[in-house]
Structure 1
């Protein structure tokens, strides 16, 4: 018996060599800046600068995850080892990066509170110079990644009508999005560090340095939570919106068929699969019902079972 080549599901696997190449450049920049900031923050006594360096260290690890995901997805995209392709590999990479962001935020919070209780002397001029270099590197990294998603975590699209989701050439790359958010949070902590150091130097509010660390940790935690909320439902095979499913049920009901069972779930960031069990007095072929539901193009892989009345 010959196993068919299920090319239909290959579209659930995606990798982008251009994104992979740009991520490599960002990883190199991040690693160099990480070493510079951790060393300078330790020598010059700036918690904001030290936190930014630690933050970049975890981001370097996250970028390694990103690169691994792209390579793994490319290697196994047509291997047949995954029922619906490797689309979830990128989602898993994004979720893992979100977990790293959460740990960064927690570490920054604890260390900032410690510095509030036990302040240290800061060499402002040198620390400011290194923080500015870090910000420039972060901005350059953002340009390299060239991502333009909404970073608030509210990037969920609600398509209540079957015709509103017909572009299957676009992929919501959570892996790249996670990398971009890491760079964005780096830029944020660099800005906070510069502000804190400038105010500390000219106004004398040295306590603002660890306060900025607290503020940065809260914002980073919010972004991490938003990314986890986007990726975890995909990893858990979240069902499609009830309104969309109800339209399918109504379409079948109007065709004079009884629906015994229905399952519609996500198999990647942008693709759904569905299995339908029907009871039909006319015993029409599954192909008839697939054609009947062709307008519901959020579903990329449809399995129909027809039973006699």
Structure 2
């Protein structure tokens, strides 16, 4: 049987009220830039639709309405940033609102997938039933759209190198430590939960640094960026296809390249769906580096980690629940303090159990 030690009991008083603000380091910056991109996209959309209607240009009308779908999708991103910031300290959210962005990005990924299907379907129809194209006008519209989208993509770039070099401990300078009695059951060490995300050891390997870089990624911004890149990609493909049709009479090139573009966009959509759903469902695979860092820090002769759960609660923020068994237990606060060097570990719950001793 395991006994709860006096030090573990005393640690129960350490669990005072604290904030759970797990927003990304550049949350405000990303929101502002998203609104700027929406304003640019909406302005160009209105100009193209108005000009297309005035001059009878189907190319301008089509591009304008196409941009409207991405402007609407980016509104999801912007409102998610606003909602997460306004409710960051709302006690109804047990671990804050850091995952709101991932929820918005998941919705945007579905929109991206639908865009890919529509482009693929339209391209397939045009393969069987080619339509007349005003090449000069269409090329001009595609070039204009490409320039606008490249500017927007620059605004939405996520400076991962900057994020990688900083700590992410916002609004919760201490972790939550709890001590619990386990008189009947001892959590056995599970989790070969292999992971991929964060790991900030002082001498981190290249793969560990890549995991940390990935864990700081703002999927909400990534979703907006992919919508802009989708527009840019379709503009590039359209320019190539239209040049081929104009110069060499390769009219079939336009729908064929459209199918290729649809496949690329579908892959982007799938990648975003996979990553955001993993965060929303607390998939532990991306936290391999963190689990290794926690184990290597806590485990030594006389101390064994018997249960460990790590999950992401926001961009660059992770929570951990650790149960350990010690021959000479210390207060949970001591074990928590030893984890303070691990970047990206923002909320920790420690459970300490003492080894029973023979009479």
The two structures have a TM-score, normalised by structure 2, of 0.72
Secondary structure at 1:237's aligned position in 2?
coil
- How much is the aligned-residue C-alpha RMSD, in angstroms? 3.3
2:188 aligned with 1:177: no
**Largest Rg, 1 or 2:** 2
- Aligned equivalent of 2:132: 121
Output the CA distance in 1 between the equivalents of 2:328 and 2:353: 10
Secondary structure at 1:264's aligned position in 2?
strand
Shift of the 134–218 alpha-carbon distance from structure 1 to 2, 3 Å rule, reads same
- The 5 A counterparts of 1:34-53 are 34=45, 36=48, 40=52, 53=64
Q: 287-296 vs 243-252, which deviates more?
A: 243-252
Residue 266 of structure 2, aligned match among 205, 221, 226? 221
- The 5 A counterparts of 1:8-23 are 9-12=20-23, 16-23=27-34
- Aligned equivalent of 1:5: 17
TM-superposition CA deviations, 1:135-161 (whole Å, max 9, x none): 2221222233344569xxxxx766484
2:142 aligned with 1:131: yes
- Aligned equivalent of 1:304: 350
Secondary structure at 1:254's aligned position in 2?
coil
- The 5 A counterparts of 1:233-272 are 233-239=278-284, 241-242=287-288, 244-246=290-292, 248-272=294-318
Larger relative CO (CA 8 A, sep 6+): 1 or 2? 2
Which runs of 5 or more structure 2 residues have no equivalent in the other structure?
1-14, 162-195
Following superposition, the deviation at residue 110 of structure 1 comes to: 0.8
Output the CA distance in 2 between the equivalents of 1:131 and 1:277: 58
Output the CA distance in 2 between the equivalents of 1:40 and 1:209: 21
Contact 2:24 2:315 (C-alpha < 8 Å) held by counterparts: no
- Aligned equivalent of 1:186: 231
Shift of the 11–211 alpha-carbon distance from structure 1 to 2, 3 Å rule, reads same
Output the CA distance in 2 between the equivalents of 1:141 and 1:242: 34
Contact 1:44 1:122 (C-alpha < 8 Å) held by counterparts: no
Shift of the 223–301 alpha-carbon distance from structure 1 to 2, 3 Å rule, reads same
- Aligned equivalent of 2:154: 143
2:331 aligned with 1:285: yes
- Aligned equivalent of 2:76: 65
- Aligned equivalent of 1:153: none
Output the CA distance in 1 between the equivalents of 2:315 and 2:331: 31
Output the CA distance in 1 between the equivalents of 2:110 and 2:342: 34
Output the CA distance in 1 between the equivalents of 2:282 and 2:297: 24
Secondary structure at 1:296's aligned position in 2?
coil
Contact 2:198 2:289 (C-alpha < 8 Å) held by counterparts: no
Contact 1:95 1:227 (C-alpha < 8 Å) held by counterparts: yes
How many residues align structurally? Answer: 298
Contact 1:45 1:122 (C-alpha < 8 Å) held by counterparts: no
Following superposition, the deviation at residue 245 of structure 1 comes to: 2.4
Shift of the 250–171 alpha-carbon distance from structure 1 to 2, 3 Å rule, reads closer
Output the CA distance in 1 between the equivalents of 2:144 and 2:127: 25
Shift of the 25–296 alpha-carbon distance from structure 1 to 2, 3 Å rule, reads closer
Secondary structure at 2:120's aligned position in 1?
helix
- Aligned equivalent of 2:321: 275
Q: 264-273 vs 136-145, which deviates more?
A: 136-145
Secondary structure at 1:278's aligned position in 2?
strand
Structure richer in helix, relative to its length: 1
Which runs of 5 or more structure 1 residues have no equivalent in the other structure?
151-155
Shift of the 115–28 alpha-carbon distance from structure 1 to 2, 3 Å rule, reads same
TM-superposition CA deviations, 1:5-55 (whole Å, max 9, x none): 312x324466633332322222133234445279859x6566xx7775554
The two structures have a TM-score, normalised by structure 1, of 0.82
Contact 1:139 1:187 (C-alpha < 8 Å) held by counterparts: yes
